[in-house]
Structure 1
């Protein structure tokens, strides 16, 4: 790998179309993410930032580095941390979390009292989504007149750096997003440098784990009551979105709910699922084995 000691961002090399397509193909093959030509500058800047740290002077040398041998595999993981998009906040798109709240209440009203609720935050980034789900679930269980069955949340992402931030569970006030004052006061406490920390009562319910979505079929996660997958599918081709959603449908328990981003896919349906009749959200409930809603 060729290095240039004085190379800097001010001398940013231009990525030609052949190099762009080479990197696009590699990213899609390994992660499923489709980087469009319109996002060429995002890709170029992300690569160049990492190349500057390594003092690599051209895209081809870096491409060969990340695609060869064990050191390339380690470097690929570091690069993914730069390319992963982590624009998120607590209770982002509140209607979707309201749908989760209503669905959990429905489950509890039917007498669920022994088996813990199982939720999955898919593409959890730095954890705000997973903790938001924990807040909603914890509140539902506290308000329920029936015996609490407890709950557990799987939270997965491809970025190890994002998962480290999620496990730390400390956030600036600017990330509180859609939290109400009551939610903020109940589940967070102030810590150093003006940040807020999620309380252990929620942190202990979440398992943060690295997962490449292309390997989802092998993930030992199934019989889920809630699958929350928002602002992730938009980075994939339409055919892959359908394939991934069909896999997610199979991982739901009868009566379980799948929530995706509104408008992330408009021409998909699955015989296992029925669309929730609410124009504010895009959510589906899995039918039971006899074809009716549980």
Structure 2
């Protein structure tokens, strides 16, 4: 008879999952300190069950029965880098969909439609989705830019970059295959134009749109090392909620540095309060938190 898996135990004639011990306060502090140090994400005590559940799931998958043993595997084990990447993916990837914030999407369209035509003819528009997860937001930006350019009767001179800390999420984004429910709320004409049936009951981004979008792995704590500059649109929603207030301001200040003159920065409602960096002007809107970089006389 073969040996039972280490994370299973017999009970009432059938096998059941052996419960992991509760994560004590010292262990929770150790884990949340590691997470904040490496990613900037700050977990409150109310999020202890979230951390415990997700770490516990991964521990069961690899047959690890101790939080301390798994911590050591993450910090200094022979597969520490790969295991850390797997865990971060579990902790950071959230459910998302296309055109999630309709007000912010309208603002992007209005912004493009009001740009000087000569400017749009000379230089491609560059948009950046920060914390793009599996790509829905980045492709949404591409659709908005493509539609706006067409309405203006201009060639589609634009590019979109999506960045995220999760490598598995980015790999999904690059494939451009989605569950149809991610398109909930999108108009039928847009669905017909930018998607086609994919394998295994999925929908696939059309090749013409996908080639306009690229993806890159990025930890927002490393923003100062980016080679990017002169972005016309920076879209960063539902990412800053994971960080402490002082770090949120640090991140958005860095993001603002990457804006081109006249560039648009869009954040999630309530993610930053009382922040007004020099050189940026708040967009007057009750529904969208956004700023535009002022253009000086010599720019």
Match of 2:203 among 165, 185, 196: 196
2:60 paired with 1:60: no
Task: Name the count of aligned residue pairs.
Answer: 288
Superposition deviation, residue 290 in structure 1: 4.4
Match of 1:220 in 2: 227
Q: Over residues 47-68 of structure 1, what are the superposed CA-to-partner deviations in whole Å (9 max), with x where a residue is unaligned?
A: 1111112111110111111111
Superposition deviation, residue 108 in structure 1: 4.4
Gaps of 5+ in 1: none
For 1:70 and 1:207, the matched residues in 2 are separated by 32
For 1:10 and 1:181, the matched residues in 2 are separated by 48
TM-score if structure 1 supplies the norm length?
Answer: 0.94
Q: Is the 8 A contact 1:275 1:285 kept in 2?
A: yes
Match of 1:121 in 2: 129
For 1:105 and 1:140, the matched residues in 2 are separated by 6
User: CA 1:269–1:110 in structure 2 vs 1: closer, same or farther (change >3 Å)?
Assistant: farther
Q: Is the 8 A contact 1:46 1:83 kept in 2?
A: yes
RMSD: 1.6
Question: Which shifted more, 234-243 or 44-53?
Answer: 44-53
Q: Is the 8 A contact 1:249 1:272 kept in 2?
A: no
Superposition deviation, residue 69 in structure 1: 5.1
Q: Over residues 171-209 of structure 1, what are the superposed CA-to-partner deviations in whole Å (9 max), with x where a residue is unaligned?
A: 111111331111111100112332111001111011111
Q: Is the 8 A contact 2:164 2:216 kept in 1?
A: yes
Match of 1:90 in 2: 98
2:221 aligned counterpart, secondary structure: helix
For 2:167 and 2:119, the matched residues in 1 are separated by 38
1:67 aligned counterpart, secondary structure: helix
Q: Is the 8 A contact 2:131 2:236 kept in 1?
A: yes
Q: Is the 8 A contact 1:7 1:52 kept in 2?
A: yes
User: CA 1:239–1:192 in structure 2 vs 1: closer, same or farther (change >3 Å)?
Assistant: same
Q: Over residues 237-289 of structure 1, what are the superposed CA-to-partner deviations in whole Å (9 max), with x where a residue is unaligned?
A: 00000001111111000000000001111211111111111111011000113
Alignment map for 1:101-140 (pairs within 5 Å) = 101-109=109-117, 111-140=119-148
Match of 2:167 among 160, 166, 175: 160
Extract structure 1 runs of 4+ deviating beyond 3 A.
108-111
Question: Which shifted more, 74-83 or 57-66?
Answer: 74-83
User: CA 1:149–1:89 in structure 2 vs 1: closer, same or farther (change >3 Å)?
Assistant: closer
Match of 1:237 among 221, 225, 244: 244
Match of 2:12 in 1: none
Q: Is the 8 A contact 2:89 2:167 kept in 1?
A: yes
Gaps of 5+ in 2: 9-16
2:162 paired with 1:178: no
1:125 aligned counterpart, secondary structure: coil
Q: Is the 8 A contact 1:92 1:177 kept in 2?
A: no
Question: Which shifted more, 159-168 or 101-110?
Answer: 101-110
